[in-house]
Structure 1
């Protein structure tokens, strides 16, 4: 078992205890976001740092409030 710490821009995104280590250029999904593994670095005997590039979150704009509706 290996502890994998996923980083995006030097920010820890997720720590996981898993059996297999992801390979470079592998597509992964973390917290519902698609991403790609950039680098894998073994830090300690059972700790691995994985740097990933996740897709950007696109926030939807709120609908404009329609003030023309009649109030009751």
Structure 2
């Protein structure tokens, strides 16, 4: 088992103990977000840093019309 630290823009997203080391350009899913492995660096005998590029989460916006329909108390 190896320790894998997943990084996005120099910030740790997730640290895990895994049997499988992800390869470059592999599609992964971290915390419900889809992403792609950009690079893999071996830092020690059983420690790896994996740099990932995650998709941006989209936020739903409330329409102004919906706000006017609500009753104010």
Extract unaligned runs of 5+ from structure 2: none
TM-score in terms of structure 1 length: 0.88
Extract unaligned runs of 5+ from structure 1: none
TM-score in terms of structure 2 length: 0.87
Structure 1 ranges of 4+ moved more than 4 A: none
Counterpart residue number, 1:51: 51
Counterparts of 1:1-72 in structure 2 under 5 Å? 1-64=1-64, 65-66=67-68, 69=71
Determine which structure has the larger helix proportion and give its number.
2
How far apart are the structure 2 equivalents of 1:5 and 1:59?
27
